[in-house]
Amino acid sequence: DKAGHKHFMAKEIAEQPLVISEALSHYIDAEAGRITLGADIDFTKIGRFTMVACGTAYLACLTAKYWFEQLAGMPVEVDIASEYRYRQPPVTPGTAALFVSQSGETADTLAALRYCEGKADRIFSVVNVPESSIARESDVALPILAGVEIGVASTKAFTCQLTVLFLMALEAAHQRGRMSDDELADMISSLRNLPSVLNTALEVEGTIKSAAQRLSQAKDVLFLGRGMMYPLAHEGALKLKEISYIHAEAYASGELKHGPIALIDEHMPVVVMAPKDALFDKTVSNMQEVMARGGKVMLITDQAGADTARDGIWQEIVMPTVRDALTPILYAIPAQLLAYHTAVAKGTDVDQPRNLAKSVTVE
């Protein structure tokens, strides 16, 4: 049932404020002002995390690395499951392994988990399907509560994965004495407001539709982002490739000069994801380097960012303003909508893109 939407993907994008708010109610004890992960997790005993996943779930891990490092001061390594399992990396004492998977059945992720059995101190998973193999074989399985996801391109599972990983990072920061009770309460209240911010973000759909018309003419698209927007740039590129079949690549903005700038011309739009945070000015200089070479910039930013950096921009997409730590969850929305409307403009099969399967149970 597409609930009046043209595609399951559209329905699942639109559902995000609701499912995220359900996940938040599940994991937040509002009265006590605490996070309740539903398992006994002592983050002070964990020396470091090794996070392993595939595809979009891998990008959720890459994002979580910023949160765990910056908020909780915990070292995090992130690996692609198919690389991790065959590289046979040493798992040293103090390491907790964390596997993220919507289906909980992805063959490479499951094999990576089995490799960690008996080596990692503890095995965590963040899954959408609680009965899945990955959930069953981990010590602690945290459900993301996104509900069934039918569109092959993952949308609501990604933002629910981010939500649960963020909650874990907050709890870790609090337990490890890096976040006071008041700071935690303040974060929790921003989080509880997030679903309504996401609803506002969904209202940019009109602007994104016209932006997507322009993007649908391109053969190649470059996505740029810094800091927490770097994994999001990858997510934008992945979604666009998957459903519109337009070749897209993502780079850390600071890498532009180290190669990809050679590609810049008027035919390859550059999508820059950059809220006005501490790194914004750096990204603006990268944008200027692109424009100076005739490149077309599509800037996804907030009002303050748009007011500062509007000159010469090909297309601007303005998001609501949220605290820096929450930008990855918010900026997933324009990344998804852009891919979706570009695919619709091209007339491709959005819910069943060619060559792809929802669950990759063979390697």
* Residues involved in catalysis: 358
221: helix, strand or coil: strand
107 binds ligand F6R (CB under 6 A): no
Q: What is the distance between the alpha carbons of residues 337 and 327, in angstroms, rounded to a whole number?
A: 16
Q: What is the distance between the alpha carbons of residues 285 and 292, in angstroms, rounded to a whole number?
A: 10
57/344 with CB nearer ligand F6R: 57
The span of 87-95, 96-104, 248-256, 267-275 binding ligand F6R (CB under 6 A) equals: 96-104
95/155 with CB nearer ligand F6R: 155
56 binds ligand F6R (CB under 6 A): yes
The span of 39-47, 103-111, 193-201, 333-341 binding ligand F6R (CB under 6 A) equals: 103-111
Q: Which residue has the tokens 């999001």?
A: 232
Q: Determine the length of the chain.
A: 363
The span of 24-32, 39-47, 101-109, 261-269 binding ligand F6R (CB under 6 A) equals: 101-109
Sign of the torsion formed by the C-alpha atoms of 66, 72, 73 and 75: negative
The span of 95-103, 140-148, 322-330, 343-351 binding ligand F6R (CB under 6 A) equals: 95-103
The span of 15-23, 48-56, 270-278, 341-349 binding ligand F6R (CB under 6 A) equals: 48-56
12 binds ligand F6R (CB under 6 A): no
Tokens read off for 42: 């002592």
Residues 6+ away with beta carbon under 8 Å from 35: 27, 28, 29, 167, 170, 171, 174, 184, 188
The span of 49-57, 203-211, 300-308, 331-339 binding ligand F6R (CB under 6 A) equals: 49-57
Residue 156 near residue 57, CB atoms below 8 Å: no
Among residue numbers 132 through 171, which ones bind ligand F6R (CB under 6 A)? 153-154
242/351 with CB nearer ligand F6R: 242
Q: What is the distance between the alpha carbons of residues 196 and 99, in angstroms, rounded to a whole number?
A: 29
57/142 with CB nearer ligand F6R: 57
Q: Which amino acid is at 237?
A: A
Sign of the torsion formed by the C-alpha atoms of 297, 302, 306 and 309: negative
101 binds ligand F6R (CB under 6 A): yes
Q: Which of 242, 277, 302, 351 binds ligand F6R (CB under 6 A)?
A: 242
32/362 with CB nearer ligand F6R: 362
Among residue numbers 109 through 128, which ones bind ligand F6R (CB under 6 A)? 109
Q: Which of 55, 89, 195, 334 binds ligand F6R (CB under 6 A)?
A: 55
Residues 6+ away with beta carbon under 8 Å from 214: 269, 298, 314, 315
Q: Which amino acid is at 157?
A: A
Cα dihedral value 6, 352, 155, 246, nearest 10: -100
Q: How far is the CB of 359 from ligand F6R (least distance, A)?
A: 6
102 binds ligand F6R (CB under 6 A): yes
Q: How many residues bind ligand F6R (CB under 6 A)?
A: 15
54 binds ligand F6R (CB under 6 A): yes
Q: Which residue has the tokens 């979604």?
A: 239
Reported in sequence order, the residue ranges of 128-275 that DSSP labels E, i.e. its strands, are: 140-143, 220-225, 247-252, 270-273
74: helix, strand or coil: coil
Q: Which residue is nearest to ligand F6R (CB)?
A: 55
238/297 with CB nearer ligand F6R: 238
Q: Which of 21, 50, 63, 106 binds ligand F6R (CB under 6 A)?
A: 106
CA atoms within 13 A on the CB side of 190: 18
Q: Computed over its alpha carbons, how large is the radius of gyration of the chain?
A: 20
Q: Which amino acid is at 320?
A: P
29/363 with CB nearer ligand F6R: 363
283 binds ligand F6R (CB under 6 A): no
16 binds ligand F6R (CB under 6 A): no
57 binds ligand F6R (CB under 6 A): yes
- Interface residues with ligand F6R (CB under 6 A)? 54-57, 101-103, 106, 109, 153-154, 238, 242, 359-360
